[in-house]
Amino acid sequence: MEGEGELGSSINGGRLLFFSLPLQGHMTPMLHLAAILHSKGFSISFIHTKFNAPNSSKYPQFTFHPLSDHLSESETAGLSVFDLAYLINDKCSEPFRDLLTEFFTDSSENRPYALFSDPALTFTRDIAKSFALPRFVLRTSGIGAFLVYSSFPLLQEKHYLPIQASQLEQSVGDLPPLRVKDLPAIGVPDMETFTKYISELVEEAKTSSGVIFNSFEELEDSAMAVLRQTFPVPIYPIGPFHLYSPPNSSSYLTPDRTSISWLDKQAPKSVIFVSFGSVASLKQRECLEIAWGLANSGCHFLWVIRPGSISGMNRQDALPEQFMDMVEGRGYIVEWAPQHDVLAHPAIGAFWTHCGWNSTLESICEGVPMICTPRFADQMVNCRYATNAWTIGVELRDGLERDNIAKVVRRLMVEEEGLEIRQRALDLKMKAKLTVTQNGGGASFESLKSLMSCLSSSS
C-alpha cells in the first residue's frame, strides 16, 4: 500500500481466523479483509462451510478449513439470507467448536489471536468467548445502512415501522436523507422475523471487540459521527478494501472475459454497464422493458443476465425476438462479467446497478456514475445516498418502463447533467484513493493503523 508508514510493522506469523456467511456479497469483502491483514504479516486461517465454499486455489497464502455443515441443495434452495443464516447457525456450531479446540490444543504458533466473523453467524460469539478469543465482526453493508439497522427500535417507536403505504414518501427525520420508502424493510414478507434477525445482527456487533466496515469516513462522515456517539465498541472503517491491493477473483460464477475484449473496441465513456448482482432476480416483463429501453436509448451497453436471474425463464426466451440483431454492434450480453475490470475500463460511462454495497463502492472507486434500481434490504439506503447525498447517480426504481429507461440512460450518458454527475463521481474517486494512503492523510489508513494496534494488544 502506498505510504504504509507505521503499518509496515506487524505481528509476523500471528494467526487470525476468518469466517464468512457463504454468499457472494459477504464472502468477497471477508476475503479482501483477510488479504489486507495477511499483507501486514499475519497468517490467515479461513473457515467456511462446504456449501458455497470459496475457491481456495485463488488464495494459496491462506489455509482453508471446511466445516462439516451437512447442508444439502434441497435444504438451501430458495432460502432468504436470514433463513440461510439460521440454518447455518444450527448446523455449524459444534463443528466450529471442534475446530477451535484443535487450534487451542496446539502448542505451536497456530493458536489464533482473533476471530473475524460475519455477525449473522451468531453462534461464534459464545464459542469464541469460551476460548477467550477476541471476536471482531465485519459488516458488509455501508455505515449508513448499518445506522438504519441499529435504529430499528427508534423507527418502531416513532411508527415508521412497520411501513405503511401512506407514509412511503415521508422523510425520516432522524435519518436524513432517507424517506420511509428507503428503509430496508420494503417487501419483507415476515416483518417480525426480519426485525428479530436485524436485532441479532446489531447485538452481535455491540458485543464484539470491534466492528469493521468496507467504507471510508470521507464518504459516510455524518453516519459515522452518529454511530460513534452511540455505539459501545470501536468502529474501524478501513475501506475500500480492494484499493489496498488488486483483489483475487472470489466470484462463485465464472466471469466471461469476452466482455473486456468487446469493451476494447468501444469509444471512451460510450457504454453503460448493466448488472443487478448475484442474488436479485427480474420478472419477464421487467427484462423485456429493460431490453427495449436499452435499445431505444441508442446507447451502447454491456448487460449481465446470469443464469436463473429471470423468474421461470431462460435468457433466450425472455428477450424479444431478433433483439440481438436489432442492437448488433452496440449491445453485448454475458452471463457474468469481471465487474472490477469492467468498471475500470475506459469505455464505461455509467453503471446501472441494484446498489448492493460492493457494487456501489466499486463504482465510486472508479468514478462511474450510477443508475440505481434497488431491489431489497440495504440497497434502498445505498440508492438514496448515491442519488441524494453524494449526487453521483439517478434513481430508476418505481416500475421499469421502456420509455423512462431510455430517457434516464440518455440523461446520464449523453446529456449535460450526466457530465456534471460524472465530475462529482470522479471527485469521490479521488477521495477513495487518498483515504487508504498515509500521504493522503486518509481516514482509512488511520483506522487500519488503530485496528493493527488493537490486534497487537490481543497477542
If asked whether residues 278 and 193 sit together in one domain, one would say no
How big is the CA angle at 381 (ends 181 and 155), to the nearest 5 degrees? 60
Q: In angstroms, rounded to a whole number, what is the distance separating the alpha carbons of residues 34 and 116? A: 9
**Number of other CB atoms surrounding residue 49 within 10 Å:** 24
Distances in Å between the Cα of 205 and the Cα atoms of 46, 89, 114, 117 are 20, 16, 15, 10
Average pLDDT estimate for 161-188: 90
For the stretch 36-74, pLDDT in tens is 999 999 999 999 999 889 999 999 999 999 998 888 777
251 occurs within a structural domain: no
The predicted model gives 200-222 an average pLDDT of 96
374 within a domain of the structure (yes/no) = yes
Residue 440: pLDDT band (50, 70, 90) is low
Residues 371 and 307 in one domain: yes
Model confidence at 107, in pLDDT bands (50, 70, 90)? low
> Does 64 lie in the same domain as 150?
yes
Q: Are residues 21 and 136 in the same domain?
A: yes
State residue 6's pLDDT score: 42
Q: What is the mean pLDDT of residues 427-449?
A: 92
Instruction: Dump pLDDT digits (tens) for 315-369.
Output: 777 788 788 888 988 999 999 999 999 999 999 999 999 999 999 999 999 999 9
Tell me whether residue 85 is in a domain.
yes
With a CB cutoff of 8 Å and minimum separation 6, the contacts of 408 are: 371, 394, 396
Structure confidence at residue 431 (pLDDT): 96
**For residue 159, is it left (φ>0), alpha (ψ between -120 and 50) or beta?**
left
Grid cell 484499493 in the structure block, residue:
243
Judge if 110 and 170 occupy the same domain. Answer: yes
Q: How confident is the model at residue 295 (pLDDT cuts 50, 70, 90)?
A: very high
How much is the pLDDT for 13?
Answer: 58
- Give me the mean pLDDT over the 231-252 stretch: 87
- pLDDT of 437: 92
Say if residue 227 is in the same domain as residue 304: no
Task: Assess if residue 41 is contained within a domain.
Answer: yes
Identity of the amino acid at 138: L
Q: How many domains does the chain have?
A: 2
Q: For residue 205, tell me if it sits in a domain.
A: yes
**CATH code of the domain covering residue 133:** 3.40.50.2000
State phi, psi for 72 to the nearest 5 degrees: -100, 160
Which is nearest to 332 in space by CA: 255, 407, 280, 260? Answer: 260
* Domain annotation covers residue 417: yes
Write the pLDDT tens digit of every residue in 108-121: 667 899 999 999 99
Full domain range(s) for residue 394:
258-432
- pLDDT value at residue 458: 65
pLDDT at site 188: 75
In this structure, are 9 and 111 located in the same domain?
A: yes
- What share of the chain in percent tops pLDDT 70? 95
**pLDDT tens digit string along 256-293?**
999 999 999 999 999 999 999 877 778 888 999 999 99
Distance CA 363, CA 371 (A): 11
Which cell is 33 given? 479483509
Chain-centroid distance of CA 365 in Å reads 13
CB 159 within 8 A of CB 166: no
In this structure, what C-alpha cell is assigned to residue 335? 452471463
Q: Are residues 140 and 40 in the same domain?
A: yes
Residue 252 lies in a domain: no
Q: Are 298 and 410 in contact, with CB atoms under 8 Å apart?
A: yes
Q: What's the mean per-residue pLDDT of the chain? A: 90
Report residue 412's pLDDT band, with 50, 70 and 90 as the boundaries: very high
